[in-house]
Amino acid sequence: MKYNNIISTITGGINIITINRPKQLNALNKETISELSKEISISNSNPSIRCIILTGSGDKAFVAGADIKEFVSFTKSEGKKLAREGQKLLFDKLSNLETPTIAAINGFALGGGLELAMSCHLRIAVQHAKLGLPEVSLGVIPGYGGTQRLPALIGKGNAMEMILTGDIISADKALELGLINQVVAAEKLLEATIILAKRLMKNSPNSIKNAIKAINASDSSLKGFKEENLQFSLCFGTTDFKEGVAAFLEKRKPEF
Ligand code: CAA
């Protein structure tokens, strides 16, 4: 299939999907989310694809978040719809996918970018990767499941610190917290991710699917995801939101 924002390369039963908007640091606009959703569904229904790898184009960013320019003037109801649809099309779909998925984090994984990586079943990052959920500095909160998936991975206390400070952490710190599974040298990222994929692929696809379902059942609080969607939408149109996104676009620090 021909896409505008992603590239799919299938090799040895692995679909390597590259998000390809390097000038925007691979930020997730609506079209990219829709293309990823389509390609992931196609792969999942193809039994010869036994693992999906998601990565970003270039060496600077995996994904620098949801595309801020797309939602600057959104109302509360538009904000709510944006997050709800993104979750359904991509983030929840990935997290509950039967085919195992690995995020190969080649640089910044911020906001929706880290949420995308956390929706994958496993994560490998390069040494220079930077990870964080800086949404509160924009006057919003994580809206693609970050408030739920981050505490499930690193515990409530660490997640509170990361989300409330908006701090961006190193790959080594992310490894220490259990946010990622491995840190590798930049030139080894693809090779290391394929080695990990092959370690999964030698096992029963049926058991992998069942294990993913069982593991996810431990942290799938629908109440939490619903509350996130509500609180995310309530940020839109507020004075803080207007200041936060304006500051980003004007390349200055916000004043709250
Ligand atoms: N959305 C849209 N455009 C983005 C973007 C994003 N999330 N991140 C970067 N870009 C664009 C910049 O606007 C810039 O475009 P121009 O050249 O047209 O000005 C280009 O990518 C390069 O970015 P910078 O000039 O900012 O590069 P830098 O090296 O100075 O900084 C960075 C890199 C620290 C990653 C910085 O780009 C940044 O802070 N990005 C935003 C990170 C962020 O806040 N993400 C959360 C988004 S909100 C979200 O994801 C909500 C949700 O949960 C649903």
pLDDT at 39: 98
Instruction: Identify the pLDDT of residue 220.
Output: 65
Cα-trace Rg, the chain? 17
pTM assigned to the model:
0.98
Q: State the pLDDT at residue 210.
A: 96
Tell me the two tokens of residue 20.
Answer: 């390809």
Looking up tokens 């970003």 gives 56
Ligand 1 within 6 A of CB of 83: yes
d(CA 143, CA 181): 24
Q: What integer pLDDT is reported at residue 110 of this predicted model?
A: 98
What is the 65 CA–ligand 1 centroid distance (Å)?
A: 7
Confidence tier at 195 by pLDDT (50, 70, 90): very high
Is 228 known to be catalytic?
A: no
Q: Does the beta carbon of 143 sit less than 6 angstroms from any atom of ligand 1? A: yes
Return the residue whose CA atom lies nearest to atom 30 of ligand 1.
251
In the prediction, which pLDDT does 222 show? 82
Q: What average pLDDT does this structure show over 78-88?
A: 97
Q: How many angstroms is it from 80 CA to the middle of ligand 1?
A: 21
pLDDT at 100 over 80: yes
Output phi, psi for 43, to 5 deg: -65, -40
Residue 161 bears catalytic tag:
no
Task: State mean pLDDT over 238-251.
Answer: 96
Using 50, 70 and 90 to split pLDDT, how confident is the model at 127? very high
Dig out the tokens for 176 from the structure.
Answer: 């220490």
Is any atom of ligand 1 closer than 6 Å to the C-beta of 65? yes
* Position 79 confidence tier, pLDDT thresholds 50, 70, 90: very high
For residues 18-46, average pLDDT: 98
Q: Which atom of ligand 1 is nearest to the CA of 137?
A: 44
Report CA(24)–ligand 1 centroid distance (Å): 7
